[in-house]
Amino acid sequence: MNVPYALLVGMRDPSLRLKNGSGQDDSVVCRGCASLPAMADRTSTKRKRAGKTPVSRRSSPLEPPKSPLLAKDARNGAPITSGKHFLSDKVGHFTESVIREMTRQAMLHGAVNLAQGFPDFPAPAEVKQAAQRAVAADVNQYAITWGAKDLRNAIARQMGVWQGITVDPEKEITVCCGSTEAMISTLLAVCNAGDEVVIFEPFYENYGPDSVLSGAKPKFVKLRPPKDDGGEWTFDEKELRRAFDKHTKAIILNTPNNPTGKVFTRRELELIRDLCVEFDVLAITDEIYEHILYEGTEHISIVSLEGMRERTVTINGMSKTYSVTGWRVGWAVAPEKITNAIRKVHDFLTVGAPAPLQEAGAAALSLPAEYYANLAKGYRVRRDHLMPALTAAGFQCFRPRGAYYVMTDISAFGYKDDVAFAKYLVQEIGVACVPGSSFYRDPRDGAKQVRFAFCKKPETLDEAARRLAKLRVGATA
């Protein structure tokens, strides 16, 4: 198995600074670059003055580079390469997604895929029909870059219903290609090289590479697992405070949380709010599991706390709430000034999210309250289906309060680490999980953990349980 688990080399390098070819900070180079035609004009003036275009340096992003691949060897016509490094330094600082790699492994070995968080059951019929109607009605061209009006109106309306927040759909919402794009567009829009971003770990693996790509340095604060079955994942308030300083630009929150299932309490969010205000920090909050809650837990959006409206970017999407992870529709809700910056990045990254699926998004957000209650109930049944099977097989489960994953401790199996165990599980037992190390900066912190997703049909969970029953506690590899 390809082992890309040693994650985010750059995060361990405090001196990480993203530079352009001339050694300047990217932030300096990019300032004022929003208008490409203006830049082209400046270039042509310079060129006129110089009399000719310099050969060794590109003078405009509009001008294609002189590719060394165009040069051919006179003897055999083979392309001559210069030996130059063609890869960005940034990509050397993180690996491919471990979660997505585990899906490929599951397919390779015919394993039950409890690794990646996508449902294997149908999306709601009303939502699919709305998409079909939109395609048939020829909503097949680019939507407005920052989102179809109907969808933005529906998001604003539901932010009022669910969070009690008034949002201007014209000025404060950007619809993106999934919340994944909303997060990276936000970080690119707000971070300069050298800014620091606070992240709780274990963390959803995208946040690390997102920070690196945006030039920010991630600072991690530990979430510690519960000591007993009824307990909660907690963090140390002093450790959190120590992570904040004058370089802190933002904190990334994810509640309900992937991978832990933690749902941040009002008290915890108030503490985070106080630090954000004291250090003048932005909260970027990923609330994609907002409606998947258990045992009467309450989802609180940090934007709804006093003092946070002007310093919060709330990210959400259709993937998890409406079981359409392949549609790629998500959004960022932020104050106008920040929204303007996010919209610029989003425009040049993707132009826009799929137009007919945005129309279906407006229909989805109009589903009755009963839909959300049934969604949570369905996931509780699935959680309570998988957890006993895991416990019986020898895993120690950390009971999730929200989202659709269960983090487990694998100490009882006696494996060298999570990667060796996950490899054995997918190849020999036929069940794919995600090695815990992929959720931590230091792989050793997750060496005794693996994560299972339970967003699956009962028969899928039954088959996984049947296979897991073959596991032997105390086996060593």
Closer of 259 and 430 to ligand PLP (Cβ)? 259
Contact 285, 303 (CB under 8 A): yes
> CA 196, CA 119: separation in Å to the nearest integer?
34
Q: Which stretch binds ligand PLP (CB under 6 A): 68-76, 173-181, 291-299, 457-465?
A: 173-181
Contact between 105 and ligand PLP (CB under 6 A)?
Answer: no
Contact between 440 and ligand PLP (CB under 6 A)?
Answer: no
Q: Which stretch binds ligand PLP (CB under 6 A): 25-33, 50-58, 88-96, 317-325?
A: 317-325
Q: Which of 354, 386, 377, 384 is nearest to 466 (CA)?
A: 386
Question: Which residue is listed with tokens 């009022």?
Answer: 160
Shortest gap between Cβ of 256 and ligand PLP (angstroms)?
Answer: 9
Closer of 268 and 286 to ligand PLP (Cβ)? 286
Binding to ligand PLP by CB under 6 A, coded x per residue (else -) over 182-221, reads ----------------------x-----------------
Closer of 150 and 286 to ligand PLP (Cβ)? 286
Q: Which of 220, 186, 219 is nearest to 201 (CA)?
A: 220
Task: Point out which residues pair with 293 in neighbouring strands.
Answer: 402
Shortest gap between Cβ of 285 and ligand PLP (angstroms)?
Answer: 10
Residue 336: how many other CB atoms lie within 10 Å: 11
Contact between 460 and ligand PLP (CB under 6 A)?
Answer: no
> CA 281, CA 311: separation in Å to the nearest integer?
7
Contact between 325 and ligand PLP (CB under 6 A)?
Answer: yes
What separation in angstroms does the CA of 201 have from each of 33, 185, 305, 339, 421? 35, 22, 23, 27, 21
Shortest gap between Cβ of 193 and ligand PLP (angstroms)?
Answer: 25
Report the amino acid identity of residue 144: I
Contact between 147 and ligand PLP (CB under 6 A)?
Answer: no
CB-nearest residue to ligand PLP: 178
Pick from 214, 319, 408, 437: which binds ligand PLP (CB under 6 A)? 319
**Torsion 159-163-166-172 (CA) sign:** negative
The answer for residues whose C-beta is within 8 angstroms of residue 324's C-beta and 6 or more apart is 123, 127, 318, 357
Contact between 180 and ligand PLP (CB under 6 A)?
Answer: yes
Shortest gap between Cβ of 394 and ligand PLP (angstroms)?
Answer: 26
Contact 274, 308 (CB under 8 A): no
Closer of 123 and 429 to ligand PLP (Cβ)? 123
The answer for residues whose C-beta is within 8 angstroms of residue 425's C-beta and 6 or more apart is 111, 431, 432, 433, 450, 471
- What would the two tokens of residue 224 be? 């510690």
Contact between 335 and ligand PLP (CB under 6 A)?
Answer: no
Shortest gap between Cβ of 324 and ligand PLP (angstroms)?
Answer: 9
Peptide bond into 256 cis (omega under 30): yes
Q: Which of 399, 234, 355, 375 is nearest to 292 (CA)?
A: 375
Pick from 105, 174, 179, 260: which binds ligand PLP (CB under 6 A)? 179
Contact between 258 and ligand PLP (CB under 6 A)?
Answer: yes
- What would the two tokens of residue 15 be? 């001196």
Q: Which of 172, 304, 218, 200 is nearest to 256 (CA)?
A: 200
Pick from 178, 202, 352, 436: which binds ligand PLP (CB under 6 A)? 178
Which 8-state DSSP code applies to residue 258?
Answer: T
Shortest gap between Cβ of 204 and ligand PLP (angstroms)?
Answer: 4
Phi, psi angles (nearest 5°) of residue 93: -95, 0
Q: Are strands 312-317 and 248-254 parallel, antiparallel or unpaired?
A: unpaired
Closer of 301 and 319 to ligand PLP (Cβ)? 319
Contact between 233 and ligand PLP (CB under 6 A)?
Answer: no
Pick from 10, 117, 225, 335: which binds ligand PLP (CB under 6 A)? 117
Closer of 43 and 325 to ligand PLP (Cβ)? 325
Torsion of CA 10, 11, 17, 22, to 10 degrees: 20
Shortest gap between Cβ of 18 and ligand PLP (angstroms)?
Answer: 23
Q: Are strands 449-453 and 405-409 parallel, antiparallel or unpaired?
A: antiparallel
Shortest gap between Cβ of 255 and ligand PLP (angstroms)?
Answer: 9
Binding to ligand PLP by CB under 6 A, coded x per residue (else -) over 266-305, reads --------------------x-x-----------------
Helices (H), 137-259: 149-163, 178-190, 207-213, 237-243
Q: Which stretch binds ligand PLP (CB under 6 A): 81-89, 177-185, 302-310, 333-341?
A: 177-185
Pick from 124, 147, 330, 435: which binds ligand PLP (CB under 6 A)? 330
Applying CB under 6 A, the site for ligand PLP has a residue count of 13
| Residue 339 CA neighbour count, 13 Å, CB half | 22
Closer of 117 and 119 to ligand PLP (Cβ)? 117
Contacting positions for ligand PLP (CB under 6 A): 117, 178-180, 204, 254, 258, 286, 288, 317, 319, 325, 330
